[in-house]
Structure 1
Amino acid sequence: MAKEVNLLGLWASPFVLRVQIALELKGVSYEYLEQQLWENKSELLLRSNPVYKRVPVLIHKDQPICESAIILQYMDEVWGACGPAILPSDPYERAIACFWVSYIDDKFGPSLVGLVRGKTDEENAAAAEQAILGLALLEEAYEKSSRGKRFFGGDDVGYLDIVLGSTLRWIEVIEIMRGIKLLDNAKFPLLAGWAERFHAAAVVKKLMPEAGKLMEYAKEVQARMNAAAAN
């Protein structure tokens, strides 16, 4: 690894996308190292993240940092003078942002995974209900956090914007796969407007995966899971 900063990732991962967006916003030069997660995981990945054995892993000066939310916090401290701040400077606002990031990782994100992996109508309906409930809560959170500004964090893309925004392409793919509407303009007008602004940000347009390619990846995930269940 020639560069001081390296990112172990998977192109389809929204968690990896979080780190990529943050690195670009901070203007940090890095080398991206694509990983294989289904089989033949690299020795570098296994050595860098021996506990979870997953991406993303940020390697800075040969020291690995794991888990995307932790990586973003680390970046804001290490490269605080570079680019815009990722986390809010106000302690209360920072705590609220961290709360909603935890909610996305613990509740909302798993509901999206359930919609990709669901095998029965009942499983998909339950996951869709949980996802829509999550969007309703996040609509309220956006109204309170943004205070009429463009993003959760104010006028610029911030911590919560990056974390939730990195799921947007997957939401689009899931809507097509399952024939449902999750991010409904009528139900969630504030989030829908925010999503348009997030997509329009230059750094996001540069990094957001293409929907068709992501759809093919989702089908591959389903096929692998079905094959594993049959064995």
Structure 2
Amino acid sequence: MGEEGLKLLSFWSSPYACRARLALDLKGLRYDLQEEDLFNAKSALLLESNPVHKKIPVLIHNGKAICESMNIVEYVDEVWPDRGTGFLLPRDDAFARATARFWADFFLSLTAASFKAAISSGEEKERANDEMIQDMVALERFLESQGGVFFSGSNTSMGFVDIAASFLPWWIPTYTEIGRLRVPGPDTCPLLHRWIAAVKDSPEAKPAFPDQQELLDFTKVRFEDVKKRFAQ
């Protein structure tokens, strides 16, 4: 275990596992990283730690398992509130916490729309692509309301919503190339593109996320498998 008694069960290309890694890195926590073989043989530790869904990420802290990426983010924020960049969720504002959780959940909609647009065709693809663009424009408006480079409202440090969205700088280009998607450019979403650049340049994000080309190559293979299953 790491010095904090921490182990993260992960998979290198999972955006959800990357969220958990980013939260741990932002807090400056040392942890052991166990890469899982999700497609051939999940470890006994994973099956024991997450018997309901049998999925990563799972954070193990002193023998106790915490499952689901944003649960892990909240957990490390509560256990180590003053470590690293400080609070990830606002501490003294219930409305701000509720708002952050709303936008963290919002990324499920964007993820679903982008995935559907990437694997579908014809009118269905266009509808899903339009929905994805609308979601990204909504993010632009929320980011503008926050007044900073990051969704946290800060110009220097990421928060809860930034971690929830942190996979976008890597996965949107991947889905765009594979699925030939339309995305709003810097003229339409200048703040979102500035945020993407800031996240990719973050020293905490760089080790938490995969190499862009490796992710693209891996995802191309997985998408072909998914398309075959959908076609059956």
Distance 2:75 2:35 in 1: 21
Distance 1:94 1:128 in 2: 30
- Establish whether residue 95 from structure 1 lines up as the match of residue 94 from structure 2: no
Q: Match for 1:184: what amino acid? A: G
Q: 1:114 aligns with which of 93, 113, 116?
A: 116
User: Where does residue 52 of structure 1 map in the other structure?
Assistant: 53
Counting only pairs closer than 5 Å after superposition, residues 48-197 of structure 1 correspond to structure 2 as 48-84=49-85, 85-89=87-91, 90-105=93-108, 107-116=109-118, 118-144=119-145, 146-147=146-147, 149-155=148-154, 156-197=157-198
CA separation of 1:157/1:2 partners in 2, compared to 1, >3 Å: closer, same or farther?
A: closer
TM, length-normalised to structure 2 = 0.90
Equivalent pair of 1:56/1:68 in contact (CA under 8 Å): yes
Distance 1:45 1:121 in 2: 40
Distance 2:41 2:124 in 1: 31
User: Where does residue 225 of structure 1 map in the other structure?
Assistant: 226
TM, length-normalised to structure 1 = 0.91
Distance 2:125 2:114 in 1: 10
1:140-162 Cα shifts (integer Å, max 9, x gaps): 11111x22x22111221111111
Q: Which moved more, 1:180-189 or 1:26-35?
A: 180-189
User: Once the 2 structures are TM-superposed, how far is the Cα of residue 230 of structure 1 from its aligned partner?
Assistant: 7.1
Q: Which moved more, 1:218-227 or 1:24-33?
A: 218-227
CA separation of 1:38/1:230 partners in 2, compared to 1, >3 Å: closer, same or farther?
A: farther
User: Once the 2 structures are TM-superposed, how far is the Cα of residue 139 of structure 1 from its aligned partner?
Assistant: 1.0
Distance 1:185 1:210 in 2: 23
Structure 2: segments with no counterpart, 5+ residues: none
Equivalent pair of 2:8/2:57 in contact (CA under 8 Å): yes
Distance 1:163 1:191 in 2: 14
Q: Which moved more, 1:221-230 or 1:90-99?
A: 221-230
- What is the root-mean-square deviation of aligned Cα atoms in Å? 1.9
1:22-66 Cα shifts (integer Å, max 9, x gaps): 111111110111112223222111111111111111111111101
CA separation of 1:10/1:143 partners in 2, compared to 1, >3 Å: closer, same or farther?
A: same
Equivalent pair of 2:149/2:195 in contact (CA under 8 Å): yes
Structure 1: segments with no counterpart, 5+ residues: none
Equivalent pair of 2:2/2:30 in contact (CA under 8 Å): no
Q: Match for 1:152: what amino acid? A: F
User: Where does residue 15 of structure 1 map in the other structure?
Assistant: 16
Q: What is the SS of the residue equivalent to 1:51? A: coil
Identity of aligned residues (%): 32
CA separation of 1:229/1:99 partners in 2, compared to 1, >3 Å: closer, same or farther?
A: closer
Distance 1:121 1:36 in 2: 35
Point out 4+ residue stretches in structure 1 off by more than 6 angstroms. none
User: Where does residue 207 of structure 1 map in the other structure?
Assistant: 208
User: Once the 2 structures are TM-superposed, how far is the Cα of residue 102 of structure 1 from its aligned partner?
Assistant: 1.0
Distance 2:159 2:44 in 1: 33
Q: Match for 2:94: what amino acid? A: P
Distance 1:124 1:230 in 2: 15
User: Once the 2 structures are TM-superposed, how far is the Cα of residue 226 of structure 1 from its aligned partner?
Assistant: 4.3
User: Once the 2 structures are TM-superposed, how far is the Cα of residue 165 of structure 1 from its aligned partner?
Assistant: 1.9
Equivalent pair of 1:183/1:192 in contact (CA under 8 Å): no
User: Once the 2 structures are TM-superposed, how far is the Cα of residue 115 of structure 1 from its aligned partner?
Assistant: 3.4
